[in-house]
Structures are given as structure tokens and as C-alpha cells.
Chain A
Amino acid sequence: MKILNAPLARLCAAAVAATALCAGCANPERSRDLGNPAVSGPVLARQACSLCHGVTGVAGSPNFPNLAAQTPQYLAAQLGEFRAHSRRDPAGFEYMWGISRRLTDAQIEGLAAYYAAQAPARQLPAGDAAQVEAGRVLFTQGAPERGIPACAGCHGDQGQGMATFPRLAGQHADYVVKQLRVFQRSDDRPDGAVMKVVSHNLTAQDVANAAAYVQGL
């Protein structure tokens, strides 16, 4: 009884009682449960995905891509690819396979719509003026003499993306560089097989220039 009278024990007992009461409770409006179909896409975006990608899809760390204003078709396709384990670049399987494994189609649609509706990320270009200009030329005109098409042809004249061709505008340069390497050097993104052909002749400098440019779009 002496122990029960202690303020700390009373508080703890209250906490334990609250725990017991809540043990069966779900809180789908603020849940981080990745296995509950009742949790909506936007709730998952705020409660779980935001840990890396930011609440509005603007990721603070260049380790993680900005998702804000991304095309919903691309977002849904990528989440499906992660869930099916067909996208298997290292960052993909390390971070995304597990997160996406139980997502329902409805949750994926909800997530895609959530991020597509966010205001796009605004960043400064990632290099000096000459590098950004070289990137602009590559992005808008390509390098026909080397068989490299203009990025804008599929990704939009402002890099805004088109359907399953992702938005590149405002994307972290570091992420763009790493993904272009994935396309060039591996078959880890089979859905992006077209990029393997497109990026085949890109030099490391081309990649850096294009990434520097699109970050500032």
C-alpha cells in the first residue's frame, strides 16, 4: 500500500491503466500502422512517410526524393513497384520495400493524390552557372550527335512530368544523379527500361549538369 501511495507509482499505475484501456484501440486518424487498410493514404503520408519525405512531400534530406507535385501516375506506379519488389535499387529496397509491403491499392491511390496536390519544392540549382547552362541545353535540346534525346521531351518543358514520366523540377540533384546511375549501370528499375537506353551515352559530367539544372527548375 505504501508503494501505491507514492505519487510516481500512482502516475505509473494510471499510465498502465490507460495502456490497458487503449490496448485494443485503433486510432486510424493518427495511425502509423502500415498493415491496417482502414488508415487512409493522407494519414500514412503525414504519420509515416513524412519521417523521410517531409509532411508536404518536400524532403529535407537529399537522401530522399521530393514527392511534392509529383505526377500521381508515377507515384502510384513506383509504390506498386516497391510493393512487388520489382524496383530493387539499393535505396528502394532498403527504405521502401518494407514500408510499402502491405499497402492496399486504395492507400496507394490516396498517397499519390496527396503528394500530387502539394505545392512543388523550390530549390536553387545545384551547380555553378556554366554547369547549370550545360544542364539546361541537355535538358531542352539533348545531344543528338551522341544519341541523347532532350529530357524535356518526356518530362515536360519545365520538368513538370507527364503521367508515368516523373516530375524532375525541384528534385534533389543528388537523388537524380544516383537514379541516373541506377538506370545506366543496372536493371534494378525495369519499369524505367527506356531510361537505360536514353542514359546510355550520358557522361558523368552530363549527369551532374542535368541534375544541377533540374534541381533549380
Chain B
Amino acid sequence: MKPSRSRSVRNGHVVVGACAALVVLLFALLPRPAAAIPLFNRQTGQNCVACHAGGQFPELTNYGRLFKLTGYTLGVRTLPVSVMALASLSKVADTSKSDDPGADFQKNDKPILAGASVFLGGRVTDNIGAFTQFTWDPYAITTDSGKFKGTFTADNMDLRYADRVVDERHDLIFGLSVNNNPSVSDPWNTAAAWMQYVPVPSPTSSRFIDGASPYPGLSAGGNIAGLDAYVFVDQLVYLEAGEYRSARGAFSFMKAGLKAADLTRLRGNNPYLRVALSQNWGAHSLMLGATHMTARVYDDPLDTSDPQSVHRFRDAILDAQYQYLLDPHAVTVQFVSAHSRHAYPAAQVGLPAAFVDASGNALAPTSASDKTDLLRAKLSYTYQARYGASVALFSLTGTTNTGNQTSGYDPLTLTITSSASAGAASTRVGGNLSGNPATRGMTYEAFWMPIQNLRVGLQYTSYEKYNGARDNYDGFGRNASDNNSLFLYAWTAY
């Protein structure tokens, strides 16, 4: 049976490849102005390059930033729906260092329909507009039997009221955003919610691609409910302040589709603050910014009865973005430095470590808090909004904590084992032997957009360090470079 299955997989590759080539060819033959257009394009009537730098989504141009900050209200009311779909294939360098490669790398080297989104939004009135996204992820959940199960959930949500008072001397944009993810309201692509290579399939299907590597994130996470007020003064100074809490009651739609166990439950109100300075001159645009958020996240989303059972996160992020946009060139440099402090609930502090050292001695007890620092930078270039390339680096460092070890010596057998019968079973492939989060690497990408609705990209992510070590990071001999991953994708939106 095995040879026949692998032949069918190969045949599948050929069929999918041929179909993809045909689709690409057909799209390439379409005249550009006649291409179908997504929601915001229909609303403004403009091409994607008006709002997105060189057509790279989601990075915004100055025009795109102002379009967003004025509440998505520029244009004419239109059919408020768009759809997006992603097909991809990821291939990790080494799948042999696993006692169950079939489970650890289930979709490796197989073309998949990786996900799809529906967008609802656009202009509602002169002052009200929205951007909402619902995403279908066919690989969101791995069941006990090892099968994937899909989910359809609320993704990004940003509902706005905005106004602009502008004359020859002053320009004041101000508004309110009700959203479900801190910084999703931000107009710059270095904000935590937007600093990413897009598209990103589910990590469970493509576990070591760039989308699964460390990114600056606000620890409160998504699918919560927040209200932010913002002002943009003379297109120079941007201030935003808001509060976030659990998405409940009238705001339950912010977490639509998510199971209770997968939710972020916040204790009380959690403040978010954003400051940015922006300057445009000629074809150049520069932004320097800072973000701060504190969040109290319940340890168990299913049990919020104990107010002490919360993780306290303090995130401080500095970011900068430079753009040079002059047709047919688009150059972007992005830089983010994120510092995060994580204080654990008292009940999780000072506990004996689950693992022991090679001689059977106890390890240090679990820490009261962790600190992490993440540096992320990216340089990208696109030509004619059609051909693009980029290089990015990521470097995560942090404190060592035995509480974060997911691999180690089993106190019963003094071996590193993934056996379920062990006193402390270790995790293969994704395991962390050191208790340190250090992960460092580079991502390279080249893409082609035959038309503005279709992007085909090839990405390569290489790891110098993973889960605190260059070699044998999981205790089973897996090295960081074994996770180097190739990622091929075709993305389309209408």
C-alpha cells in the first residue's frame, strides 16, 4: 500500500502543480485594470498599490495609513465582502529525528489548502467604517487520533468612528476603535499585530516556517475586546490609548467560533498605550514609535474564580519603519525591539522542576518571572508591485526557567524519554531541554504578483538557535538547523 500512496502523493503534486500553473497563466493573461477587486478596492476604486506598499500586504503606504485612520470611510459604499484563500506547501529540512514523523510533520512536503478568510467591512457612514476578518483554518486542531479539525473563527476586528478636521494650517484626525487585538488598530506595519510575513498558514501544518518563528506580540493576545481613542496631529504625532478586557456580552462576536478553553481571559481592564512620530519627505517616510501594554491573563480560561491566578505581562516595544515609495520602486526597512516581563501566578512559583539533571539531582525550582527580548528586522524591495524580495532576521533571548522545560531527564529512569510511562515525559521536535527561549534565525522571501489579486511566493527560514540551543535543543538530538524550512504559497483575494 505504501508505494501506491506515495505515488498518489506524487501524482497529487503533479495535478496541483499543473492546476496552479494554469491558474497563474490565466491570471497573467488578464489585463490588470480588468482584474476583480476586493472590498476596499471596490470602495475607493483604486489599485492595491494605493494603500499597500508595492502591493505587499498588509504593509500600508501613507495613503493607506490615512485611509485606515479616517475609519475606512473614503470612497463609496459597496458590497462589503471580500474573500481570501491560501494554498501552500512547507518542507522542513529534517524529519528523521522524531519517533513519529508522521505525527510530528503531518503535512510536511504536501500541498494543502491552508486556509481562507472572509472580510466584512468598509464605509458605513461619513464617520463610521470597519475592517473585520473571519478565518477558516483547516488545521487548527489536532485531534487525539492525529487528524486535523478545522475551525472558523473571528480573526482581526476593527470597528471605527473617525473624523478629520483639516484646513491649510491644521490637520487633526481623531477617532475611536473597538477592536479585538491590541495594536490591530495601528496604521504601521511594525505594530505587533501587523509585523509579519503574510500569508501565514496554521502553525500546526507548517510548524517551522517564518510565521511560526518568534514575533513581537502583545501578551494579552487576540480575541479580546478593547476600546481605543486615537489622534493623529498634522500627520506628525500619533497617540493612541485604550483598555482591553475579555470579550463577553455584547462583544462576544470578537471571539466568535473560539472554544472557551482556547480563549484569553483577562482580569479587569488592561491598558494599552501607543506613541509614534511620523515624517514624510519626498518619496521617504519614517516612523519611530513605542508601545506599552500591561495585561493580567487568567491561567485557566475555564476558571476565573481566583483573581490571584493570573499571569502578569508587561510589554514595552520600540519600533521603526522607513519606506521609500516611488513607482516602480518600493523599499521598506522595519525594526522592532520588544521587551516583555512575565510574572507567574504565585501557585506556579518555586515549584520543584519536573525533570532532574543527568545524575538525578533536582533542578532549580520554577522562577517567579521571565524576561524576554526580541529583535526583529526586515528589508524588502518590490519592483512594479509585481516582483518582490526580502530578508528578515529574528533574535529572541530570555531568562532560563525550569518551568519552561518541556524536555529533560526523567527522574525515574534518568533518561530523556517521550514514553508515556515516564515520570516526566519529554517532548520531541518541539521540546525545550534548556528552559531558555533563545531562538535566532533569518528568513528570505521572493514573490511574484502577476496581478494584484494573486501572489506566489517562496520563503526560506533558517535557524541558528532554537529553544535555547544550537544543537540538541530537545534532548533527542534535534538541532536548530534541522528546522530550516522552505515555504511555497499561492495567495489570492477577491
Interface residues of A (CB under 8 A from B): 3-4, 6-9, 11-13, 15-16, 18-19, 22-28, 30-35, 46-48, 50-52, 55-56, 60-63, 88, 90-91, 93-95, 97-99, 101-102, 174, 178
Contacts and interface: CB of A to CB of B under 8 A. Distances in A.
B164 interface: yes
Contact of B161 (A19, A34, A35, A62): A19
Interface-central residue, B66, B75, B126, by most chain A CB under 10 Å: B126
Interface stretch (B101-109, B241-249, B458-466): B241-249
A6 B248 CA distance: 11
A35 B269 CA distance: 40
A61 B66 contact: no
B45 A97 contact: yes
B327 A51 contact: no
A16 B167 CA distance: 29
Give the dominant DSSP class at A's interface: helix
Closest 9 CB pairs of A and B: A98-B45, A35-B76, A3-B249, A32-B74, A27-B126, A94-B47, A31-B126, A98-B46, A51-B66
Nearest to A56: B168
A87 B161 CA distance: 35
Given A27-B126, A51-B66, A63-B283, A32 B73 contact: yes
Contact of A25 (B66, B125, B168, B283): B125
A47 B170 CA distance: 12
A60 B124 contact: no
A62 B283 contact: yes
B interface, size bucket:
35 or more
Given A18-B161, A56-B168, A26 B125 contact: yes
B77 interface: yes
A18 B280 CA distance: 34
Contacts of B76: 33-35, 102
Contacts of A12: 178, 225, 227, 250-251
B163 interface: yes
A108 to B, nearest CB: 16
Nearest to A93: B33
Contacts of B165: 30
B204 to A, nearest CB: 33
A214 B385 CA distance: 29
B128 A23 contact: yes
Given A8-B225, A15-B178, A26-B125, A98 B44 contact: yes
A101 to B, nearest CB: 5
Interface in B304-333: 325-327
Residue among B75, B171, B325 with max Cβ neighbours from chain A (10 Å): B75
A47 B164 contact: yes
Contacts of B45: 34, 97-99, 101
A94 B46 contact: yes
B250 A30 contact: no
Contacts of B46: 94-95, 97-99
A61 B73 contact: no
Contacts of B176: 15
A33 B33 CA distance: 23
Nearest to A46: B166
A192 B395 CA distance: 54
18 contacts: A6-B245, A7-B269, A8-B244, A9-B249, A12-B227, A15-B176, A23-B124, A25-B125, A30-B126, A30-B165, A32-B75, A35-B75, A35-B77, A50-B171, A52-B63, A61-B326, A62-B282, A98-B44
B127 interface: yes
Interface string B204-237: 0000000000000000000001110000000000
A95 B47 contact: yes
B62 interface: yes
Interface string B404-441: 00000000000000000000000000000000000000
Interface in B141-196: 159, 161, 163-168, 171, 176, 178
